[in-house]
Amino acid sequence: MIITVTLNPVLDKTARVDALRVNALNRLSGVTLDAGGKGVNVSAMIRSLGGESIAVGFLGGGTGEELRALIAKKGIKSDFVRIAAVTRTNLKVVTDNGALTEFNEPGPEIRDGEWRELEQKISGYGVKGNTVVLAGSLPPGLGKDTYKKLSVTLRRAGAAVFLDADGEALKQALQSAPDGIPGYIKPNRHELLQYFGITDDKGAYPETKLVELCRTLIGRGIKLVALSMGEAGAIFVTGEGAWRSPALPVQPRSTVGAGDSMTGALVYGFEQGLPEERCFALAMAASAGACTTEGTNPPSRALVDALLSQTRIEKIA
């Protein structure tokens, strides 16, 4: 079973206005609501490929209920902990000239008791055969060691852990002992370099060096580093070797969430028992497909299948 954890989910509200005016009334039109948050995006990708997952996390207030309903409408099962505070809403305003202005909330404060309830729920999913995806930012009230604590509990109980986090939360999770470290991570290029304290040099850092950095992480107990590099494609490094895959030529509409689609496809592929290289190909096709859809919407299975035939996975080490 696949479980996705979204600790700071969001109700995404998108609206249109002819032009944005400061110090004046802006009348919005065409308001749409969508379920957001990285774990939720991963669940949506898995669903689109024909798989199943359970979305877990915190929900509160009316926006929380709206979010729960939107997730159910996508055909995704959920098992959220209800909190006293209200789930955040992020507002995206699109003007007639196509410009996007975003207003993002930090998210509700999580109380100790609420965290303990969720921790217990997630621990309950920590059994052999389950894969738990931990993805996205942490809400106020939770420490930077949150993903580390969950990873250690889940790994020691025999579950697989896939982490997509950055900054301090990633750093701490990677400091776990080998039997508690997440097995799978999907940093993008910036996140990997930042982890190693290397200033991002706008693409100049060579591929061989990137592979070396990924290998350092493999040496610490990680099974797979899926390094995504936007339109430069991706590198996949395991204990057995390293593979490169160029990005597929698509007309991007929105690349936001492409990484989440990559994670979803990888987890789905592993769950199906597909060979490693097949999982990498699926990840490339799904993430490229995700770029062609509006917002964070996942691509259809038909589009992923069409893109799969164009995917190239080259062994480089």
Ligand X SMILES: Nc1ncnc2c1ncn2[C@@H]1O[C@H](COP(=O)(O)OP(=O)(O)OP(=O)(O)O)[C@@H](O)[C@H]1O
Residues in the interface with ligand X (CB under 6 A) total: 22
Our answer to whether residue 260 is catalytic in this structure is: yes
Please name the residue ranges forming H helices in 125-164. 146-156
Which residues in the 250-309 window bind ligand X by CB under 6 A?
250, 252, 255-260, 262, 284, 287-288, 291
Tracing tokens 């770029």 back to the chain, one arrives at: 291
Residues 6+ apart with CB under 8 A from 228: 186, 187, 188, 189, 234, 258, 259, 262, 287
94 CB-contact burial (10 Å; exposed 0-12 / middle 13-18 / buried 19+): middle
Mask 215-244, x = binds ligand X (CB under 6 A)?
-------------xxxx-xx----------
313 binds ligand X (CB under 6 A): no
Tokens of 217: 């992480």
Strand partners, 315: 243
Distance, in Å, from the CA atom of 55 to the CA atom of 53, rounded to the nearest integer, reads 6
Mask 255-274, x = binds Mg ion (CB under 5 A)?
----x---------------
Distance, in Å, from the CA atom of 252 to the CA atom of 42, rounded to the nearest integer, reads 19
287 makes contact, choosing from ligand X, Mg ion, none, with CB < 5 to 8 Å by partner type, with ligand X
Mask 167-206, x = binds ligand X (CB under 6 A)?
---------------------x------------------
- The residues of the shown chain that bind ligand X, judged by CB under 6 A, are 188, 228-231, 233-234, 247-248, 250, 252, 255-260, 262, 284, 287-288, 291
- The residues of the shown chain that bind Mg ion, judged by CB under 5 A, are 259
Q: Give catalytic residues, as residue numbers.
A: 260
